[in-house]
Amino acid sequence: MTVLIVASDVTDWPFEIPGVEVVDAWTYLTSPEFATGARSSRVVNLCRSYRYQSTGYYVSLLAEARGHKPLPGVITLQDLKTRASVKVLSDELDELIQQNLHPLQSSEFTLSVYFGRNMARRYDRLALHLFNLFAAPLLRFEFARNEEGQWQIRKVQTVASHQLPDSHKPFVEESAQRYFSGRASSPRSRKRTRFDLAILHDPDEKQNAPSNELALKRFIKAAKEQDVYAELITKDDYGRLLEFDALFIRETTFVNHHTYRFARRAAKEGMVVIDDPVSILRCTNKVYLAEMLARHKIEIPRSIVVHRDNLRRIVEELGFPCVLKKPDSAFSQGVVKIASEEDLKTRFADYSGDSELLIAQEFLPTTFDWRIGILDQKPLYACRYFMAPGHWQIVKQERDGRGRYGKTETLPVELAPRKAVKLALKAANLIGDGLYGVDVKESNGNFYIIEVNDNPNIDSDSEDAILKEDLYNRIMEVFVRRMEQKRARLDD
C-alpha cells in the first residue's frame, strides 16, 4: 500500500519516514498520477486548514472518491466541527477522562495528541482513545471542569504541522514513525495484496469468543489464498480502521459497545463489513426479533413482550415453567427459566432495571437446538447444539471448564431437516445478507425459531467439522466479491 503525507507545502513536514512519500496538496489534487494511480493508497492529510471546501477539505474528499484511505476522513472533519458530535463522542470516554485528569488542581487543561500519543506517558491510554474517536493525526484537546467539578472536553482542534512547537517536533517524528512502522499501511511490512481485511477480536474474551484462536488463524490463511491481507485488530485500533477495505467482527457484539461503533463507522465509510450495524441492532434485541418474526408469521414459541402492566398475561397465557429474557442477552446470559409467579416478580424486578421491555416465551424442553449458519442469504452449515450436562441451556454460565457447554454435532446442510433450514433461511433473510446463526427448536415434529444471532460461533473442530477449510474459504469469497463490487463501482 502506498503511503502519502499530503501537506499544504512539503516544507510543512520536515521529517523523513521510511516508505512514506510527502507531496504538496495542490499536486495531489491536480496531478493525473494521483487521480488514476493505485487504489490502495493511504493518505495522511496534514493540510493547514480543513475548512469546508478548502484545499485540505478536498484532499480528504477526493481521496475517498479515488478509493484512497484518508486520515482524517470527511466524516471525522464534520465531527470535529460539530459541537454536538464532540460532546456525544467524548461522553463515551467520560470515565477515562475523569480518572486521568482527577489529580490535576487546575480548572483547565490542554492535551496534545500526536498520532494517538501524548508526550506524557501517563496520558497514553487517554490519548489513544481520543485518537480512536477523532481520527486525525495532530490534535489538541481543551478540557475544563464544569460546575460539578467534572472534566469535559470544551474544544477539539487540529494542529497544523508547520505550527508545531519546536520542543514537540522530535516526539511528533517518533510518533509518526511508530504509527507507520509495522502497520498494514507500511509497504515494507508485507507483500502487496488486492485487499486488506481487519478482523476485530478480543484476545481476553476466552470462554464466549465467537471464534477460537485456531479458527482465527484459518480465516487469515483463507484470506491469504484469496490474495487478501488479513490482520487481527482490537478495540484500540479504531483509529486505524480506514487502513482496511473490509471489517470482519469476531468479537461478541452489543449495541452500546465498541463493536457497534466499529461496524457503524466501517459502514459509513463505505467499507465491506460483517456484521453490519443494522444486523447488530436487529439481532441483539430480542424484543425486535419477536415482533418482526411474529409480523412475518414465522413460527416461534408463544411469546409475550413483557412490561410492568402485563405480568398477569404470562401467568394466564404461558404458565410455568416459562422463559424470561433480557432483550440483549447473549450466550444464555440474561435468560432464565421461571418456575412460579413469585419467581417471575423477582426476576422481572431484576431485569427491568436495564430495559423497559422484556420477552417471555413458553418453555419447550429439548435435548438439543438446531443451529443453521446462513451467509449471503444461503445456508452455510448445520449443527446440533446439545444442552449442557444437567442443564436446560446449551451453556451453563455458572460453571467453568468441563461441563460448561453441551456437545456440538455438525452435519452437512443437506442432512439437516429441510423444514428447519427453510425456516432459518426465511428468518435470517429478514435481517440482511450477512453472516447469521439461526437457532431452531424441534418439538413434536414442529420447528420454531428461537432467535437469529449476528456474529455466530465459528470454531475450529466444531462448526467447521464438515466443510473444513472450505468453510473459511466461502466466507472469504463473499468478502472478496463484495470488495470487488465496491471497487468496480468506484471505477465506473
Q: What is the mean pLDDT of the chain?
A: 90
Q: Hey, what amino acid is at 414?
A: E
The CATH number for 1-75+169-185, chosen from 3.40.50, 3.10.450, 3.30.1490, 2.60.40, is: 3.40.50
What per-residue confidence (pLDDT) applies to 85? Answer: 60
pLDDT of residue 353: 85
Task: Give the DSSP H or E segment for 45.
Answer: strand 41-45
Short-list 465, 413, 467, 464, CA closest to 440? 413
pLDDT at position 126, please? Answer: 94
CATH, domain range 195-275+479-491: 3.40.50.20
Total residue length of the chain:
492
Tell me the three state secondary structure of residue 382.
Answer: strand
In tens, the pLDDT along 434-470 reads 999 999 999 999 999 999 999 999 999 999 999 999 9
Residues 191-208 have pLDDT tens digits of 678 999 999 999 999 788
pLDDT for 332 beyond 70: no
* Superfamily grouping for domain 302-362: ATP-grasp fold, A domain (3.30.1490.20)
CA distance 428 to 423: 9
Contacts of range 70-74, beta carbons closer than 8 Å, 24 or more positions apart: 70/43, 70/44, 70/45, 70/242, 71/42, 71/43, 71/44, 71/45, 71/135, 71/136, 71/137, 71/239, 71/242, 72/45, 72/134, 72/135, 72/136, 72/137, 72/158, 73/135, 73/242, 73/269
Quick check: 41 and 69 in contact, CB under 8 A?
Answer: yes
How confident is the model over 44-70, as a mean pLDDT?
Answer: 90
Q: Which of 16, 69, 61, 44 is nearest to 158 (CA)?
A: 44
Containing H/E element for 428?
Answer: helix 418-429
Angle at the Cα of 64 from the Cα atoms of 60 and 66, rounded to 5 degrees: 115
Q: Measuring CA to CA, which residue among 127, 454, 472, 436 is closest to residue 285?
A: 454
Quote the CA–CA distance of 167 and 184 in Å, as a whole number. 30
From the CB of residue 478, how many other CB atoms can be counted at a distance below 10 Å? 18
Helices (H), 250-318: 258-268, 277-283, 286-295, 311-313
From CA 404, how far away is CA 390, in angstroms rounded?
10
Taking the C-alpha atoms of residue 382 and residue 438, their distance in angstroms, rounded to an integer, is: 10
Cα separation, 301 vs 316, whole angstroms? 16
pLDDT digits (tens, 9 = 90+) for 283-312: 999 989 999 999 999 999 999 999 989 999
How far, in Å, CA of 247 to CA of 82, rounded?
27
**Residue 116 contacts residue 127 (beta carbons within 8 Å):** yes
CA–CA distance, 411 with 382 (Å, rounded to integer):
6
C-alpha closest to that of 458 among 390, 392, 374, 396 = 374
Is the confidence at residue 110, as pLDDT, over 50?
Answer: yes
* Nine cell digits for residue 434: 450477512
**355 or 218, higher pLDDT:** 218
Count H helices, E strands: the chain? Answer: 16, 20
Structure confidence at residue 184 (pLDDT) = 38
Q: What is the pLDDT of residues 241-287, one digit of tens each?
A: 888 999 999 999 998 889 998 999 899 888 999 999 999 999 999 98
Give the pLDDT band of residue 488 (cuts 50, 70, 90): confident
Q: Which residues contact 458 (CB under 8 A, 6 or more apart)?
A: 210, 211, 215, 373, 464, 471, 475
Q: What is the pLDDT of residues 140-192, one digit of tens each?
A: 999 999 999 999 998 999 999 999 999 999 999 999 999 887 443 333 345 67
pLDDT at 112: 97
> Can 1-75+169-185 and 195-275+479-491 be said to share one CATH topology?
yes
- The Cα 388–Cα 379 span in angstroms is 26
pTM of the complete model: 0.77
Which of 274, 273, 271, 278 shows the shortest CA–CA distance to 64? 271
389-397: long-range contacts, CB 8 A cutoff, minimum separation 24: 392/337, 392/365, 393/332, 393/335, 394/332, 394/368, 394/369, 395/331, 395/332, 397/331, 397/332, 397/333
Rounded Cα distance, 439 and 458, in Å: 14
Could you tell me if 50 and 57 are in contact, meaning their C-beta atoms sit under 8 angstroms apart?
Answer: yes
- Listed by start position, the domains of the chain span 1-75+169-185, 82-159, 195-275+479-491, 302-362, 368-454
| Spatial distance between the Cα atoms of 366 and 386, rounded to a whole number of angstroms | 9
As a whole number of angstroms, the distance between CA 208 and CA 210 comes to 6
Query: Taking CA 130 as the corner, what is the angle to CA 127 and CA 135, rounded to the nearest 5 degrees?
Result: 115
Mean pLDDT, residues 340-353 taken together: 93
**What pLDDT, on the 0 to 100 scale, is given for residue 207?**
80
Read off the pLDDT of each residue in 332-350 and give the average, rounded to a whole number: 91
Residue 1 scores a pLDDT above 70: no
pLDDT given at position 331? 61
Peptide bond preceding 412 in cis form (omega within 30 of 0): no
**CA nearest 434: which of 282, 276, 230, 296?**
276
Average pLDDT (335-344) is 94
The CATH T-level fold of domain 368-454 is: D-amino Acid Aminotransferase; Chain A, domain 1 (3.30.470)
Whether the predicted pLDDT of 239 surpasses 90:
no
CA gap 59, 47 in Å, rounded: 8
Whole-number percent of the chain with pLDDT over 90:
72
